[in-house]
């Protein structure tokens, strides 16, 4: 295994990484960073979520920024506002000991006027959701005609969320000779179209072999019940945990909101976060939860991206996720900082096969719980 220094990362960034307790490069970082630092090229990289992709593209991008120029040189496109905020925050942390590199994140759910004002300041890197970037471009509030590097993070998710038209529009607006780095967990046909139409035909392609890693301190459990019993059994489990706090996951906005209302009716301090919430409403819920005014949050998978909450005792899968990656994202919300935590799935008898699949792929073992009281 190589060190970040051997990969060519600048000492100022290495110092910041050490402060974040990031000492050894992951597989995707080791494979991509030297290519991106040492050559002016397009790149296609396939790696699972949670493998360190932000540093894999973020460190080379930061190192290529010319701080003497005040225009936008780097553009990062991602599917959600939570991820945009998370990436911008991470880039800021990487630059703790380096020259000032200014990053702005722009996304829907926030007043556009504030973002227009923020972009009037010197900005080197913009992290954006595709829809909001198009809105800003139409208002002539953002100039991307001098962008040197464009990064598509979670390309498959952006396309599955219906952003293909916006991505094509954006990639037509940037200079033809800019470098495009595409990072994606999967490579569906629609991703192939983006690569064919916008990246050079000889762009290096990297695919990591690493399996999805699951925190060993998580106890994976399941409880089998009929649909009409679920709410009653969920309440039994919550009461058994006394005042311990957790997150409940649902697959849709409607079901997350409905479940939160049902729990509130049972005098359980709960709120929900989902895609229909305005940013202020979302932040209000998160603030209440962090200040321990709420015992539970009910969330959808996309809305929970980028959540950074410590000391959660458990995660509940009230409905199983659509993908195995979402399961690792969900369960990874508990057992942080060396603590132990519970990840419990409420399933019907037909869904047991799905857990068997999780066990095989993730190398974990589910324990059946017979009594939740």
Provide CATH 3.40.50.300 ranges for the chain: 4-207, 218-368
Return the percentage of the chain with pLDDT > 90, whole number.
68
Q: What is the CA radius of gyration of the chain?
A: 22
Strands ordered across the beta sheet of 205-207? 103-106, 125-128, 74-77, 149-153, 179-184, 43-46, 205-207
Tens digits of per-residue pLDDT, 61-105? 999 999 999 999 999 999 988 889 989 999 999 999 998 899 999
Asked if pLDDT for residue 310 goes beyond 80, the answer is no
Q: Which of 342, 341, 330, 337 is nearest to 304 (CA)?
A: 330
* Rounded Cα gap, residues 234 and 266, in angstroms: 11
Q: Which of 244, 286, 236, 298 is nearest to 266 (CA)?
A: 236
Asked if pLDDT for residue 14 goes beyond 90, the answer is yes
Tokens, residue 371: 């009594």
The model carries a pTM of 0.64
Q: Is 149 exposed, middle or buried (0-12, 13-18, 19+ CB in 10 A)?
A: buried
> At CA 357, angle to CA 208 and CA 359, rounded to 5?
80
> How do strand 125-128 and strand 74-77 relate by DSSP bridges?
parallel
Q: Domain spanning 218-368: which CATH class is it, in words?
A: alpha beta
Q: Which of 330, 333, 332 is nearest to 346 (CA)?
A: 330
More confidently predicted of 275 and 33: 33
Q: Which residue is listed with tokens 């997150």? A: 247
Tokens, residue 207: 């695919």
One-character DSSP codes across 45-82: EE--TTSSHHHHHHHHHHHH--TT--S--EEEE-S-HH
**What angle in degrees, to the nearest 10, is found between the helix axes of 164-173 and 130-138?**
50
> At CA 39, angle to CA 73 and CA 196, rounded to 5?
80
Strands ordered across the beta sheet of 314-317? 270-273, 296-300, 246-250, 314-317, 341-347, 218-224, 367-368
Tens digits of per-residue pLDDT, 134-176? 999 999 999 999 999 999 999 988 988 889 999 999 999 999 9
Tokens, residue 373: 């009281």
CB atoms within 10 A of CB 240: 11
CATH of domain 4-207: 3.40.50.300
Asked if pLDDT for residue 306 goes beyond 60, the answer is no
Q: Residue 223: its pLDDT value, please?
A: 97
Asked if pLDDT for residue 5 goes beyond 60, the answer is yes
* Rounded Cα gap, residues 203 and 324, in angstroms: 29
* Rounded Cα gap, residues 83 and 71, in angstroms: 23
Tens digits of per-residue pLDDT, 242-256? 889 999 999 888 999
């Amino acid at each position: 295994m190589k060190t970040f220094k051997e990969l060519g990362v600048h000492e100022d960034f290495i110092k910041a990484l050490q402060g974040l307790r990031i000492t050894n490069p992951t597989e995707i970082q080791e494979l991509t960073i030297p290519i991106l630092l040492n050559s002016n090229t397009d790149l296609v990289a396939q790696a699972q979520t949670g493998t360190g992709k932000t540093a894999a593209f973020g460190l080379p991008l930061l190192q290529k920024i010319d701080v003497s120029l005040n225009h936008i040189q780097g553009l990062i496109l991602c599917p959600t506002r939570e991820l945009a905020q998370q990436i911008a925050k991470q880039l800021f942390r990487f630059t703790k000991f380096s020259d000032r590199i200014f990053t702005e994140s722009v996304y829907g759910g926030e007043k556009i006027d504030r973002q227009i004002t923020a972009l009037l300041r010197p900005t080197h890197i913009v992290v954006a959701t595709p829809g909001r970037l198009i809105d800003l471009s139409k208002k002539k509030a953002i100039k991307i005609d001098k962008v040197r590097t464009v990064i598509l993070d979670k390309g498959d998710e952006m396309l599955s969320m219906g952003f293909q038209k916006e991505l094509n529009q954006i990639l037509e607006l940037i200079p033809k000779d800019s470098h495009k780095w595409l990072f994606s967990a999967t490579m569906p046909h629609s991703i192939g179209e983006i690569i064919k139409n916008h990246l050079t035909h000889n762009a290096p392609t990297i695919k990591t072999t690493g399996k999805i890693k699951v925190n060993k301190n998580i106890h994976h459990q399941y409880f089998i019940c009929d649909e009409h019993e679920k709410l009653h059994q969920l309440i039994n489990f919550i009461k058994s945990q006394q005042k311990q706090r957790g997150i409940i996951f649902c697959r849709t906005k409607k079901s997350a909101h409905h479940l939160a209302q049902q729990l509130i009716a049972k005098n359980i301090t709960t709120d929900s976060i989902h895609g229909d919430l305005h940013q202020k409403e979302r932040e209000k819920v998160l603030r209440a939860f962090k200040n321990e005014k709420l015992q539970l949050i009910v969330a959808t998978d996309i809305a929970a991206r980028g959540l950074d909450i410590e000391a959660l005792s458990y995660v509940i899968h009230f409905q199983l996720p659509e993908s195995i990656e979402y399961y690792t994202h969900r369960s990874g919300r508990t057992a942080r900082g060396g603590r132990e935590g519970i990840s419990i799935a409420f399933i019907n008898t037909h869904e047991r096969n799905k857990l068997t699949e999780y066990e095989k792929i993730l190398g974990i073992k589910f324990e059946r719980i017979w009594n939740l009281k």
